[in-house]
Chain A
Amino acid sequence: MKRSVQILLSLALILCSIGQLTAQKAQKYLPSSPDLVIGVHPAALNKKVPLEKLKATRGWEETVQLISLFVKGGDSTLYKKMFSDPSSFGLNTMEGMWWYRESIGDTMLYRLVIPLVDKSKLETQLAATLEEQSDLFDWNSSPDQGVLEITDSEWILAWNKEVLLFSNATISINWYDYYQQTNLPDVAVDSAVTGVDDVMIVPEEGEEEMSDEMIVPDEESDIEVDVAIDSEDVEAQVVKEENKLGLNPVAWPLDTTTTYVSPIFTPIEDNYDGTYTRYDSLETANKAKALAFNRDQTTALLAANGYQRALNNPHYLTLLQQTPDVSLFMDYEKFYGLQGKFGPAARLPLGGMDHGMDTYMSFVSSLSSITQSMYRGAALTASMNFNNGEVVADMRIHLNEKMKAWNKRTYKTSLSTKLLKYLRGDRSVAFMGFAFHPENAWKVFREVMESAPPSSKSPGDFMFLLDALVDEKAISKIWSGECLAAITGIQSVPKTVTTYEYDEDFNQKEVVKEVIQKIPEFTLAMTHKDMDTWKRIMQLGIKYDGLEPMGVNAWKLKGDGSSALTDLYFGLTEDAVLISNARDLVENKRNTGYTGRLAYNAEQKKLLKGHNMVMYLNPSQFAELMLSYFNADGSESAQADLERIYNTMDYMLISDEKSKEKTTSSMRVKFRDPQKNSLLQFMEYLGILSDMRSKNEM
């Protein structure tokens, strides 16, 4: 997942360098109902940093390499040439390019839209570049459009006179879920084998009917696949099917004929009574089906010169009016809708892990419908700008009125800084804090659970039981809603070991010596309203031999120090409970907190103030911590790499603000050089990471 995000981000970033054209033309190629759209707007960025400088970085090379891996097939020559000199390919997209994801039936479609101004240039370049790789690429073109297919890749490149599309479609099913579905007595095997009849979106009772833009069920939108399961027959079957794709409302003709070869497979020893073989066939068939679907959808879209009804979500249109370097739009309702889409109502795709858990799964499934209902009409918009010295990403979540009201009751306006004094600030590695109203949060939780659709009774039952056990007022006394957790540095803990050394005549002798073990130092600080209750809890800990006192209002977790990773201490003050492995904090600085140079400085406090959720990470301190943990901190090259990280990136900060009026998030990545463009520094940072992975100079 992390790698996918990195690839997508990289893809978005590199496209910043490509050409010029009006955004409107490309906009026509965005469907009316994607769940995710990322737009890149290089015109603004180009004013901030010369693209030639970006291209000279190691990070740029890495990014092109990543794209090649992402698209797969062939070698990277085509993409390197295309992204290094897009205008020579007729690409001229300075005003914007878009990547989107859309779910159509059981198929997930991914597409990148790049404006094109010179079709013949593109085709001339493709011919020249691919001349020596004809076995890896297959392409053809007409005066109106062209398609390029890549051997062993699920991606195709297709173009008309307006745009170049990178397009991918996938139909996937998890093996374990498949096995479970096809081997449980209550599930029809035939349906699961074809894999095309089991995905239906049926509105819950009381829910709105799906609009005409929504997905047409498979019975109206299938390319039928004749899966060759007869083990005696290993001949290819050529299947011609009439294309009756359930497309979103577009105006192009839909009577094209699709031809492809269904899979040839050789029967293998099958330990699952044939299930493995059937699954293997299904997977191959799914790939063929997806590729055909992709080809037909894409060529039809290009023939129609875009969607008749393109994306016109008001939040998205508002976002378009801004001029960020990168923009993001996410349809929350659709996004969460996808979660409940992959199986019958009571079964989610959990890799077959839900054996014997039908009640639980029914409950989880109900939660999914609750979530979908909570986010009805909700969307996320975000803009990212690469300014000098920092990357700034501002996100806004557009919620429905019900969610806004819940947010207002649940979250406190902002995290206070009173807990900060308990955290050592001079060597902070990572930090997270949030503030909310526990009592209100519980009430909201209850309302949410009780809002489950009538057919899903489990959450209500669960809530009834839980409500009987939980006293929200008591909870809010022992935890009044604010919490800070931080990794505040690295502890050096001396440990005694027995080892061997050589005497002056080089004879081995046994010696006992002290070695230093390095472990992360962490602290959790929570606000409370009732010191007496906490004292009673600690007394219970002592009574049952779990804690030992360390003076007034300080305790240590009992345990064999030699076997535990670290000692753990508990401290109590008038307003806070502290849990930490920093003995000095709990024993000596509990009442005063850290002061002077050990405390958070004014600049750090300013960063952390005014949010109801905040996360902070210092990359160089984090890297140092990791190296220490793996005992690699004495390495010269590790130190050199650390220094390079330190000299490039300062910190990363993510913060949230939630209120009735708005829910916003902000991400800031601060670089060391305030004068230098942050994208350039980011590319250099990628180069450092790349060097760390392979040190050919060594």
Chain B
Amino acid sequence: MVLRSIRVIATLALLLQFSSCFEITEDITWNADGSGFIVLMLNLSESKPRMDDYMRQKEVQGYKVPKKQEVEQKLELARKTLASTPGFTQVSTQLDWKNYIFSLRGRFSTLASLNNGVNKVMSELDNGSKVYTGDHYTFSKSQFQRKNPYDWKPERYAELPMTLRYMLEKARLTTVYRFPVEVQKSSNPKARVSPNKTALKLTEPISALAKGSVSLENRVTLQIK
């Protein structure tokens, strides 16, 4: 499921098959009133030389390399879906084909609209799948929680092609959350708090996430006066 989720978030599933050095970033800036700004980014820039080759070749190891137009259609579908979600405004995409960096960004008014928007995008890009229903983020009093609503199974990861598994060991997923107040405590020991104590960053290999040996889950206690 994690791979499915990742691929959907990235919207560039096919491109991921051909690149190992890539990073997916979930970057959210929260405001005091519960609104905020989210950026989902797929960064393939470290694989740029190889990606240039692949795009020229059009087919690698029997797999069809997606055309620019196909990737752009996927991202446009994600943009439209997010923009149609109640509570979302200023939704846009950025496609940097020179460096292979792609992003989807938008402003949300409430936590509910964020959860709803993320699920809708993932569902739409996964051909209308109904599995994306859980909450990714919750707030309760002074506690923010990043959840993992999916059932990630290591045996599914083991079924992936050998070279894809090798590649995913080098790929990373990063989450960055910025808060209007200081972070007091974080339950995930791998998450790092910034020196100014208002931001939290966690980076994990995608293979480890897919196998379930590490998690993005985190309970963050905020310094609310």
Residues of A within 8 A of B (CB): 493, 495, 497-500, 502, 504-508, 515, 517, 563, 565, 627, 630-632, 634-638, 692-696, 698
- 8 closest A-B pairs by beta carbon, nearest first, are A632-B166, A499-B45, A517-B49, A631-B20, A635-B169, A635-B166, A506-B199, A638-B166
CB distance from A14 to the nearest CB of B (A): 24
List A contacts of B48 (CB < 8 A): 495, 497, 515
* Bound: A382/B70 CA distance, A: 52
* Bound: A262/B45 CA distance, A: 60
* Bound: A512/B225 CA distance, A: 41
List B contacts of A493 (CB < 8 A): 49
Residues of B within 8 A of A (CB): 19-21, 27, 41, 43, 45-50, 52-53, 98-99, 101, 154-155, 157-159, 162-163, 165-167, 169-170, 174, 176, 178, 194-196, 198-201, 211
- 8 A-B pairs (CB sep. < 8 Å): A499-B99, A506-B200, A517-B50, A630-B20, A634-B20, A634-B169, A635-B20, A698-B154
List B contacts of A508 (CB < 8 A): 27
List B contacts of A517 (CB < 8 A): 49-50
Q: A631-B170, A632-B167 are in contact. Are A692 and B162 (CB under 8 A)?
A: yes
CB distance from A8 to the nearest CB of B (A): 23
A504 and B194 within 8 A (CB):
yes
CB distance from B38 to the nearest CB of A (A): 13
A631 and B19 within 8 A (CB):
yes
Chain B residue with Cβ nearest A695: B158
Q: A632-B170, A636-B169, A694-B158 are in contact. Are A499 and B101 (CB under 8 A)?
A: yes
B176 and A693 within 8 A (CB):
no
List B contacts of A634 (CB < 8 A): 20, 169-170
Partner of B176, one of A499, A506, A694: A506
Chain B residue with Cβ nearest A632: B166
Partner of B43, one of A499, A627, A637, A695: A499
Chain B residue with Cβ nearest A691: B162
A505 and B196 within 8 A (CB):
yes
Q: A502-B176, A631-B21, A634-B170 are in contact. Are A497 and B158 (CB under 8 A)?
A: no
A498 and B199 within 8 A (CB):
no
List A contacts of B167 (CB < 8 A): 630-632, 635
A563 and B20 within 8 A (CB):
no
CB distance from B23 to the nearest CB of A (A): 9
CB distance from B209 to the nearest CB of A (A): 13
B170 and A495 within 8 A (CB):
no
List B contacts of A515 (CB < 8 A): 21, 46-49
Q: A508-B27, A631-B19 are in contact. Are A497 and B165 (CB under 8 A)?
A: no
* Bound: A497/B50 CA distance, A: 12
Chain B residue with Cβ nearest A498: B99
List B contacts of A627 (CB < 8 A): 163, 166
* Bound: A499/B166 CA distance, A: 23
CB distance from B63 to the nearest CB of A (A): 11
Chain A residue with Cβ nearest B203: A502
List B contacts of A565 (CB < 8 A): 53
A637 and B165 within 8 A (CB):
yes
CB distance from A212 to the nearest CB of B (A): 47
List A contacts of B159 (CB < 8 A): 694
List B contacts of A630 (CB < 8 A): 20, 50, 163, 166-167
B194 and A635 within 8 A (CB):
no
Chain B residue with Cβ nearest A496: B48
Q: A502-B176, A698-B165 are in contact. List 5 more A-B contacts (CB 8 A).
A: A499-B43, A499-B101, A517-B49, A635-B20, A635-B167
CB distance from B174 to the nearest CB of A (A): 8
Q: A497-B48, A565-B53 are in contact. Are A637 and B169 (CB under 8 A)?
A: yes
List A contacts of B43 (CB < 8 A): 499-500
B194 and A505 within 8 A (CB):
yes
CB distance from B84 to the nearest CB of A (A): 27
B158 and A638 within 8 A (CB):
no
* Bound: A500/B198 CA distance, A: 20
* Bound: A300/B72 CA distance, A: 65
List A contacts of B201 (CB < 8 A): 502, 506
List A contacts of B211 (CB < 8 A): 698
Chain B residue with Cβ nearest A694: B158
Q: A506-B199, A517-B50 are in contact. Are A498 and B45 (CB under 8 A)?
A: yes
* Bound: A497/B49 CA distance, A: 9
A506 and B50 within 8 A (CB):
no
A696 and B158 within 8 A (CB):
yes
Chain A residue with Cβ nearest B166: A632
* Bound: A502/B101 CA distance, A: 15
CB distance from A624 to the nearest CB of B (A): 12
Q: A515-B21, A638-B166 are in contact. Are A506 and B157 (CB under 8 A)?
A: no
Partner of A696, one of B52, B155, B199: B155
List B contacts of A506 (CB < 8 A): 176, 178, 194, 199-201
Chain A residue with Cβ nearest B46: A515
Most buried by B among A502, A506, A693, A695: A506
B49 and A495 within 8 A (CB):
yes
A693 and B162 within 8 A (CB):
yes
* Bound: A493/B53 CA distance, A: 14
* Bound: A218/B27 CA distance, A: 73
List B contacts of A495 (CB < 8 A): 48-49
* Bound: A634/B19 CA distance, A: 13
List B contacts of A698 (CB < 8 A): 154, 157-158, 165, 211
Partner of B47, one of A504, A507, A631, A695: A631
Chain A residue with Cβ nearest B170: A634
* Bound: A506/B154 CA distance, A: 31
* Bound: A502/B178 CA distance, A: 13
Partner of B163, one of A500, A505, A632, A694: A632
CB distance from A125 to the nearest CB of B (A): 35
Q: A515-B48, A692-B162, A696-B158 are in contact. Are A504 and B170 (CB under 8 A)?
A: no
Chain A residue with Cβ nearest B177: A506
* Bound: A44/B74 CA distance, A: 62
Q: A506-B176, A515-B49, A631-B21 are in contact. Are A637 and B194 (CB under 8 A)?
A: no
List A contacts of B194 (CB < 8 A): 504-506
Q: A495-B48, A631-B50, A637-B165 are in contact. Are A500 and B101 (CB under 8 A)?
A: yes
* Bound: A698/B166 CA distance, A: 12
Most buried by A among B21, B158, B165, B166: B166
Chain A residue with Cβ nearest B201: A506
List B contacts of A692 (CB < 8 A): 162
List A contacts of B178 (CB < 8 A): 506
A504 and B19 within 8 A (CB):
no
